[in-house]
Amino acid sequence: MESTDQQPKERIKFTQILLSFVLPVLISGIVRALGIYIFVSPNHFAPGGINGAAVLLEYAIGWNSGWFLLMLNVPLFFLAFFLLGKKEAILSTLSMLLTSGLLIVFDHIPNFPKFFDPVGNEPVAYGLLGAVAGGIFLGIALAVMLRCCGTAGGTAIPASIVNKKWKFLSVSWMTSLLDAVVVFASFFVYYSPAGFAVNLTPVLLALVSLFVTSKTCDVIIDGFKVAYKFEIITTHPEEIAREIMERTHHGATMMRATGMYSHEEHDVLVCIIRKRQIAEVQRIIKSYPGTFAFFTPTSEVYGKFLK
C-alpha cells in the first residue's frame, strides 16, 4: 500500500522539479542564445551585461561569443556559489552554459538564420528591428530566470556581492551601471572612421535593446492579467456597485470604514477592473456627488476575475 501511495508523490515531485527548475533553465538558455545569435551579433551592438561583453569580444577578436560567455561566467559562478546562494548560482550558470553551447553549435549549422541587411543599404533600419527583436528574446530569458531563482546571473552577481558589503548601493543600480559600462565600451569597439554619427549607432541600438528587454521582462514578471483596483468611499454604495456590475461585469466588495478626522463611518467599495474600463467607472463615480475614490494598478489577479 505504501509503494502505491509513494509513486504518485514521486511523480508529483518530479513534475514540480521539471516545471520549477529544468524547464526555466532550458527556455531561458535557448531563447537567450537565439536572440544573441540571430539578432544581436549580426547587427553589431552590445545589449549590456555579460551578454554584451561577449558580443563585443566576438567582434573585436573574432571568436564565437559562446566561448567568451563561457569564460566570463565560470569565475562568476564560483563567486555566486560561495558568496550568494548555491541554488541560484547553479541554475543561472546552467542556463548560461546552455546559451554558450548553443551559440557555438549554431556556428556549425549551415545556413542558420541571421537577421541583418546583407546588401548594406539599410543597416540602421535592420539594426533597429534587430535591437527590438533581440530585446524581446533577452527580456523573455531574463524574466524566466528571475521567476525561477530570483536572479539571472551575469552582472547581477557582482552587483549582489557589492550590495552585501555596501547596502546603500542597490543591486539594480549597480547592474545598470555595469550595463552602461558595456554600452559605453561599444562606442569604441565598433569605431568607424566614417564619422561620429555612425559611431553612435551601436550605442543607440544597445539602449533600444535594453529598454525593450526591461519592458518585456516587466510584462512577464508582473503578469498579463494586469488590472486596476478602485477604492470608493461613498454614501451610495448600493447604487454605485449595481452600476459597476452592470456596465463592467465585475463584482464589488463593500466594507465599513471610519474616517479618523471626522470619526464618521463610511461605506467603502473595492472593485478590480480592466484598464479599458477605467473611464467607465470614473463616469459612474462622478454622477454621485460627495464620493471620494482612487485607483491603483495591480497585477497577477487570481480567482474568478470575470463574471
In a domain, 304, yes or no: no
104-108, 130-134, 168-172, 241-245: range with lowest mean pLDDT: 168-172
Is it the case that residue 292 has pLDDT exceeding 80? yes
Instruction: Give the pairing of strands 265-273 and 227-234.
Output: antiparallel
Question: Minimal CA–CA distance to 282: which of 293, 271, 290?
Answer: 293
215 and 249 both lie in a single domain: no
In a domain, 307, yes or no: no
52 and 179 both lie in a single domain: yes
- Cell output for 30: 535557448
274 and 290 both lie in a single domain: yes
Is it the case that residue 14 has pLDDT exceeding 90? no
In a domain, 74, yes or no: yes
Domains in the chain, number: 2
Question: Minimal CA–CA distance to 54: which of 189, 254, 176, 150?
Answer: 189
Domain limit, last residue, from 222, 237, 271: 222
174 and 267 both lie in a single domain: no
69-78, 176-185, 193-202: range with lowest mean pLDDT: 193-202
Helices 278-286/237-248 angle, 10° precision: 150
In a domain, 305, yes or no: no
pLDDT for position 58: 92
pLDDT for position 177: 82
In a domain, 127, yes or no: yes
Q: Which residue has the higher pLDDT, 253 or 301?
A: 253
Q: Where in the sequence is the domain holding 129, given as residue range(s)?
A: 2-222
Q: What's the mean pLDDT when you consider all of the chain? A: 82
Is it the case that residue 124 has pLDDT exceeding 80? yes
- Region 112-139: mean pLDDT is 90
Domain limit, last residue, from 222, 252, 283: 222
Model-level pTM? 0.74
Distance CA 76, CA 155 (A): 9
pLDDT for position 223: 64
Domain limit, last residue, from 207, 222, 237: 222
130 and 257 both lie in a single domain: no
pLDDT for position 1: 46
Confidence band of 300 (pLDDT split at 50, 70, 90):
low
34 and 89 both lie in a single domain: yes
- Region 37-50: mean pLDDT is 90
234 and 175 both lie in a single domain: no
190 and 292 both lie in a single domain: no
Is it the case that residue 194 has pLDDT exceeding 60? no
Confidence band of 196 (pLDDT split at 50, 70, 90):
very low
pLDDT for position 197: 46
Backbone angles phi, psi at 272, to 5 degrees: -110, 125
Confidence band of 199 (pLDDT split at 50, 70, 90):
low
- Cell output for 255: 466594507
Backbone angles phi, psi at 255, to 5 degrees: -135, 160
In a domain, 119, yes or no: yes
30 and 116 both lie in a single domain: yes
- Region 46-62: mean pLDDT is 89
47-56, 84-93, 116-125, 275-284: range with lowest mean pLDDT: 84-93
- Greatest alpha-carbon pair distance for the chain in Å reads 78
110 and 170 both lie in a single domain: yes
265 and 162 both lie in a single domain: no
172 and 232 both lie in a single domain: no
Q: What is the CATH number of the domain that holds 264?
A: 3.30.70.120
CA dihedral 139, 141, 144, 145 (to 10 degrees): -110
